[in-house]
Amino acid sequence: MSSTTDKIKGLANDAVGNVKQGIGNATGNDKLVAEGKAQELKGEAQKNVGDVKDGAKDLADKVTGKR
């Protein structure tokens, strides 16, 4: 997966997780709140993976003189 794909999937999971948490809080559904928090954390991790991939590519480009 490319860094951009990781970041997009991460943003989507983060957003859906936040919505689930909001609905869970509004309805008193603790299970939905927990699911939302887990999905939000998954999204944050995916975004971080994308950032790491970008950093690794930048470093490789510098080492090889592509930048």
**Alpha-carbon distance 22 to 12, whole Å?**
15
Average pLDDT over residues 25-34: 98
Q: Collapsing DSSP states into helix, strand and coil, what is residue 29?
A: coil
| Cβ proximity of 34 and 17 under 8 Å | no
Query: Can you give the pLDDT at residue 60?
Result: 87
Residue with token string 């970008």? 54
- Position 67 scores a pLDDT of 64
CB atoms within 10 A of CB 27: 10
Q: Please tell me the pTM assigned to this model.
A: 0.82
